[in-house]
Structure 1
């Protein structure tokens, strides 16, 4: 069986430090491989090394062969000719692969035109078919900035697979998706693996189970164990693998329940809110009261208005009808948002340390609070010396949480705050958010596609339906 992708003793180094220890693997047509592990395990670095996209000063060692060609023997131009035709990549952050000035359907149609040489009319028909398949049939006219995080992820998936490449590298392809959409994307990857070869990076055990094939478990840049998906997840030999399986939200104990008979001050009240987008009503006549120390969950499919509701409550988006009343005498910066896409919360031109220092200086905060917060979120202080694009999505989300907690908020709109985190870290962050609510009387409005996470962490739930 002809190998489509071969890695021989592939490792990743930075100076004298080995970030990913040597890994060898072969993928042929009809094979599916999922690399499972927590944030910082080196999974995304592996895909970047295969594509030749490692940021300096990181370096790849070992051999990468794509459809039999050693990429080290090819010019940069010849390597790029492999992209789209033979190998395609779905990056962890959809915004990296989408043109912010191009409408959604055209983003997919352009791939059909440029890679498969389709006529524009044929390309548009196929692009529309692909968008309908992932529930974006009516979003083809929208720009990426007008999409929710989950919708952008589905659009990026369509664009990444439209070229028909035999090899698909999918880096966390289901993060931020509701369960039905997650299962749909997993099914598409499984099907793609029957026609070509699929290498998927994920921290979602259920996604790995549904894709099937072979699983490799990584931790701290090392291969922990590998084997058939059904056998490995049914009877893992490594304690770490079992820990990942047990960390799924459905296995969590209920981490807290607010005492309903305790009187607490109201920090925010919404009265008769209504919001329409794209000619469809997201919600109307919506009333909501949130009190100190309370955690309220919001559930609903991608695009139903969860993020829009939170933005209205924070004054970031106007409501079409109704009003929002906040507690008197509280500084505006005490009402904060944890973004679904952490890139939206950080300027890319400065180091993370500078961005933290700016907040500390602006609000007269105690810089000594930063190290214990980082430790609590399992973050190395050395990460602050890096730029935004030099840390993983999971690390950046935890840094966003740390920066928000420095301001001791009274209200925190947490928009899918753990969707980019592995199960172990997600459980720790969810616990941290509940501790903040309890210890600091901070109200939390928690958006999640995962009903188990909401059930385990929230006092009550607001379910939004499909747009009318």
Structure 2
């Protein structure tokens, strides 16, 4: 277990003055085109930035802004239709554009390496980890097979994977997501490259795994003096990991500067919009709404004249902001901005009015009592997906289920919605026990009352049918409206409710953006007029700006309809903003539950502490706070620990009692419970890991 205090601001490495230093990576006036048979798409019209030796440089922006395309151009992986049509990419003084293939091969992998978003796409499923890692020193360093295998095993130890010798013999599918990503990092660092490109390296990882991976990257960066080009849409991650950053929009740089300067004093309206989209762990839905950026990034062939952000900017002035050739200009030393109005636009906090809350009579909407879900594996083994799960949700209340992958959140959601059934226990709703009833066995009225919003709308929207068809089908199925005219009127009302134009009705999923598809999924769920919504990671696949818009929309509708919601998420900052009550799960059991204020601000379960300490903040002035890094992997649900489920990873473990005896339930208050051997007074006396942040 590793507990550290982190200043969190910029990176751990201070910025060295750039005077008299040559950049390691120098991109100037880069233009990237994708040339098809019928048209040419200009993905990057004109991009310039530098990465200095030993520096961590962040590249930030929404999906479609050109971040990954830039990284692929550096690596020379633009594909058959991608072309660098202008400008230069210089690495260590060498021109990479139009370089000979032999020269590029000597640079890629050896001097420049890349860590991709999806580790499984970078690992060969039919080769062992050892064989794949050994290829790097064999190919790029001329090592013997014996030396290559030794170097590979040593690097696995460097990335803190347990039992490197055994890990060398495993195949990718035998590793967890966090382990796979560490292997990919090990592969990238084996040749000790001067520059490491990181393309969303922690997307899809649990918050605790993400924290450990980012700490590892920073540690290895310091050890090997490696420069980083860090691509991410996670501003908190960039704020803590990078020395400088560039904000990209529609293929061009709109702001650049030191991390602390850009986050403290953002100049471009787009940068401020991105920052305002982020949930704040010191506030919630009652104190502020998330300020979403209206509209979306223009298609390359539809870029406006002048400021590309103009159509979405509230400060746009015709005749000024739409003039051609707007250049990056200095706002201060080492701070550049592409905005003609930046001196007169206030950089203060967003003026968002507090949300008015309605007082409604709270009755119990759903009660879970000792719910168990066991899956037999073979003749003698059993997967304990859920064990003795008990909690309740009141009418119009949002209960968040949080925990790492494999903790049982989604299994519980499937049981509640009837996609699976409990092995034992009770789930009471509308006077009926639905725990052991799958959807096909439930009465129609009950099916109507419970609806689900999934993480990926692509997997639930039929690609052959229009948006209106998906909504219309739900209305017809439950008889919400009768007659064609009434049904079509209801479709229009629901599209308006989720703030979509009527023009969207006839479009198919492939003609919609990610945010539009999720809005259709929300409209379809509420078309049944349910009393309970189960939202399983409903915004995790969306950009931060789209996420803010969808979350605000979801909260507005939930508030208006007085619907109860089970909100599943691994984003603790988002949970702090959305939830009324929080249930923390680990390995199938509830470790802690209470109001959102109790769980985030009072004595907490050690596992909850670790989850909260992994929240990353984009506030440079935040005071240092404790970081808790969990060691090891979550035990198998087939062979759970005999005592406390969390004992094998706990940083506050008392001793053998935690390994052998089930922990007692500590009643911290009428609404706050913690399952732990630690004495109740000691739990209550420990300050929140977020206490420093709240004081700042």
Interval containing the TM-score (normalised by the shorter chain): 0.7 to 0.9
Is 2:362 aligned against 1:262? yes
- Shift in CA distance, 430/270, structure 1 to aligned 2, threshold 3 Å: farther
SS in structure 1 at match of 2:57: strand
Q: Choose from 82, 91, 110 the match for 2:116.
A: 91
Give the Cα separation in 2 of the matches to 1:124 and 1:21: 41
1:89-131 superposed Cα distances (whole Å, 9 cap, x missing partner): 33334453345x459xx44x34321112364863674475366
Aligned twin of 1:113: 134
Deviation at 1:258, TM superposition (A): 8.3
Given that residues 111 and 163 in structure 1 are in contact (C-alpha distance below 8 angstroms), is that contact kept between their aligned partners in structure 2?
no
Is 2:199 aligned against 1:174? no
Give the Cα separation in 1 of the matches to 2:227 and 2:564: 46
Is 2:407 aligned against 1:304? yes
Aligned twin of 1:295: 398
TM-score by length of 2: 0.53
- Shift in CA distance, 325/76, structure 1 to aligned 2, threshold 3 Å: farther
Deviation at 1:216, TM superposition (A): 0.7
5+ residue gaps, structure 2, are 1-20, 139-144, 287-356, 427-434, 477-486, 588-633, 635-644, 646-696
Equivalent pairs, count: 449
Higher relative contact order (CA 8 A, sep 6+): 1
Is 2:371 aligned against 1:272? yes
Aligned twin of 1:438: 559
Q: Choose from 446, 449, 452 the match for 1:336.
A: 452
Give the Cα separation in 2 of the matches to 1:25 and 1:41: 15
SS in structure 1 at match of 2:285: coil
Aligned pairs for 1:31-42 (under 5 A) are 31-42=55-66
Given that residues 454 and 460 in structure 2 are in contact (C-alpha distance below 8 angstroms), is that contact kept between their aligned partners in structure 1?
no
Deviation at 1:214, TM superposition (A): 1.4
Is 2:463 aligned against 1:345? no
1:5-56 superposed Cα distances (whole Å, 9 cap, x missing partner): 3322113345465443311223343121101223333323322333344467
Give the Cα separation in 2 of the matches to 1:271 and 1:142: 38
Give the Cα separation in 2 of the matches to 1:383 and 1:60: 34
Deviation at 1:233, TM superposition (A): 2.0
Given that residues 468 and 506 in structure 2 are in contact (C-alpha distance below 8 angstroms), is that contact kept between their aligned partners in structure 1?
no
Aligned pairs for 1:182-221 (under 5 A) are 182-194=210-222, 195-221=225-251
Give the Cα separation in 1 of the matches to 2:495 and 2:76: 34
1:359-379 superposed Cα distances (whole Å, 9 cap, x missing partner): 5687679686897688659x9
CA RMSD of aligned residues (A): 4.7
Aligned twin of 2:279: 249
Q: Larger C-alpha radius of gyration, 1 or 2?
A: 2
- Shift in CA distance, 412/51, structure 1 to aligned 2, threshold 3 Å: farther
Given that residues 334 and 407 in structure 1 are in contact (C-alpha distance below 8 angstroms), is that contact kept between their aligned partners in structure 2?
no
Aligned twin of 1:286: 389
Give the Cα separation in 1 of the matches to 2:410 and 2:165: 20
Aligned twin of 1:414: 535
Give the Cα separation in 2 of the matches to 1:385 and 1:76: 40
Is 2:73 aligned against 1:43? no
Q: Choose from 27, 30, 34 the match for 1:10.
A: 30
Once the two structures are overlaid, the 10-residue window that deviates more, 408-417 or 223-232, is: 408-417
Is 2:47 aligned against 1:23? yes
Deviation at 1:297, TM superposition (A): 0.6
Give the Cα separation in 2 of the matches to 1:68 and 1:247: 39
1:231-286 superposed Cα distances (whole Å, 9 cap, x missing partner): 222222334323333332116852257867333654x8564225589988565211
Give the Cα separation in 2 of the matches to 1:436 and 1:325: 30
SS in structure 2 at match of 1:21: strand
Deviation at 1:464, TM superposition (A): 1.4
Give the Cα separation in 1 of the matches to 2:506 and 2:60: 25
1:285-307 superposed Cα distances (whole Å, 9 cap, x missing partner): 11244566442212224543434
Deviation at 1:226, TM superposition (A): 0.9
